[in-house]
Structure 1
Amino acid sequence: MKGAFAIVLTLSALLPLSAGAVNQQIRAIFKPNPANPLFNEFENRTPTSGFCLDNPPQCAAEKLFSFRLPIQSFSNATIQGRHDNPRMGAMFNIPSQWQTVTVTHPTAPPQTVEFRVAGMGVAYRLPKPAPELTGGLGHNFVWEGGIWSYAGPPCTGLGGAGNDIGFNSFWKHPENAGACAKRAMFDIPQPFKYETFDITYQLRTPDPLTMPTGHYTGQHVLRVGPGRDFDLGDVMVPNDDVIVLDFALEVEHELKVEVPPGGNKVQLVPAGGWQSWLQAGRKPVRLFRDQTFNISASSRFKMFLQCSLSDGRVCHLTDPGQRLSFPLKVSVSLPNGLTDTLGRPVRRQELLTEAGAEIFRPGHYVERQPGMLHFEVERFDYLLAPGLPRQYLGNVTVIWDSEV
């Protein structure tokens, strides 16, 4: 018996956007990994471009992701050398604080995704070679504090490279960093421009083990310009001023149950068999059978019974002529890692028909771990009286259902 389901989560919000908006999808997936069952997080599958494409070890160490957007920025005036106002030069005030995005589902409760921009990089292009601007001194002297790789505080530079007319570098922004800026030491006339727009970001996603199956949608909009989410100062003007982030998160849960061959035929017998009754007349206390199974689960599921004969709550066994019937108790024990809704281990939890379904949940992905179904009949000694049937039958279907 097995069940599987997938959750596709797309974050979007219906907002009025400008015609020139730049769209970027952020896609992540959760799929149980038998090789690492304790890792229960989304894996970012967004194609990498920009900084992390060239620096994967550094980004992996800091859990950073990056992409390059098709946005360029152009100066609207000469940047004055040794200017006093940071807004009149190279300035970057980006959304480095954590922001929340609510994602919704047609029937399930909303979930929250957190997102922050962790850094920004541009490749600038001068109107003429750096030595011509600086009297033969080069890029090291265009900006106060050294080359573009030495970011303005509180940001830190993450390397860079250039030629006489341009330089490309990336700045890392701490949380809630505010503005980071570099002052020009010489006049930079028009046309000065940023040819690239790279950002790194960090992502906090919901716990996929608690998320019901289905599709979630949402969207996050960022704006570029003075006083907006990406504030590049008063001199640099972007050719696009709206960034639309479309998040798409996909969850592929697993619920699989394996019963050994012949495990669907359950014969209830006393402890030690029937010899004590047949040879010594000692009535058995109970009839029972324990049936093992293996289970793999990465999300909540419920268990309940369907019966060929029932009182509406528990299953019954009856003789072939259906003259007599009596209740059958069915319970389950689940492996470590699976608990009830209160977080307690599942040991001999009685199972009932669907109206009394029990819900269980994983604390981590459980991969092919053993569980046990317990079948038991109590207080049946009256059935051993002479003249009564000697065989009782019933069909019991145990349901593991991921549609909780």
Structure 2
Amino acid sequence: MCLYIENPHLTVASTLALWLALYRSCIYSRTYKIAFCYFKTMLGYLAARRAGLDDPLRFRRAESTRRVLSLQLNVDRDMDRIHGNGVNALDIEVIEGKYMLSGGADGVIVIYDLENVSGKPQYTCEAVRTIGRSSKYVHRFSVETVQWYPYDTGMFVSSSFDKTMKVWDTETLKPAEVFEFESNVYTHHLSPIARKHSLIAVGSQNPKIQLCDLASGSKIHVLQGHRAEVLSVRWSPRYEHILASASADSRVKIWDVRRASGSLLTLDQHNGDKSKAASEAVNTAHNGRVNGLCFTSDGLYLLTSGTDDRMRLWNSATGENTLVNYGKVSNQSRKRRQLAVSQGCSPEFAFVPCGSSVAVYAIHTGELVTMLRGHYNQVDCCEFHPDNQELYSAGKDGNILAWVPVLRAPDVEEESNKDAPRHSSVNPAFQDTWSDED
């Protein structure tokens, strides 16, 4: 279908044949109900697109949604295994969409090239640069967050339990700036849209949020209001001065960094109805540590996750709990969990680490669309690639897995032969003839 968007000369018959194959693949991936709705409306999209009556962006949105709904583990794509322990953080740069950062519990930082240079179906994403244990600049303890500079791949930022945040020169792999703190750093974030400031928000074991200025290389401001360690911070993708923070004190706060009078909002899971809340739960977003925080792509909503095994969706302007029910979302991590949201889809989807799997939810309805299984241990981070509608996940097993859209359905012959007895090509003289009883 992407071929049709890029090549309008592709015949409608060919496009319909491709969509039928994709629809069948969705059936095999157990998302047939939603797939049927999209296949049913596909004829309307094609007719309107061909006649010039419909916005091509609407057609693109439908295809992006179809691709997300058909995500499966790509067994043909491997990632160079560099990390000796778990992987805590991932980030894909938005300039070319080609390079991905990973930060590990061993303190190592790796830059991967996601492009298939070989052109072969089976290939390995190579680690093009590594800040390993042999480097004198490497973090001494676990790297908790990594992030590309939003406007240039020549720089990236990492933060660690060694109480430092380092700004790296990609070319030399040397820190251009090092910020030191009094306690372990859990998280940091640069605004993806800021033009009037170059602030990095930093959350640590200290309840105060530090604002560090890239331009001056100094800490310029402190945000006070939390009562325990700050586990996650995120800048709004809509307003460059709006910041959200999540803490172990069960609270989520919204800040305007231009104001000195404290937070704008403290999110309340009961929407201010104190008659339904215990006194200690007033103005709390969760009944436990809040370690997951992510804005939707348009910045209108905020998604949070806590150790109370709940996930909540908030109106980021009013702070209202939208009361979307996601059910039980397993969360036993005491550190930051990296959530991800889709872009260019309708409806929007959230990718949430859930034990050794990745849960895919429809954000505004709370429906559990599917569970992506492939890891051998707890998943800690997810990163969505908006250009290709691909997902990358990593966790304590040290593996980085790529989840990609299904591009073809299983062949009819393959399906018909699934139940047929398989004839071994091994010489009968060498076959195992032992029975289960023996």
Q: Which one has the bigger helix percentage?
A: 2
Under a length normalisation based on structure 2, what TM-score does the superposition of the two structures give? 0.18
Under a length normalisation based on structure 1, what TM-score does the superposition of the two structures give? 0.20
> Which has the greater radius of gyration?
1
Q: Which one has the bigger strand percentage?
A: 1
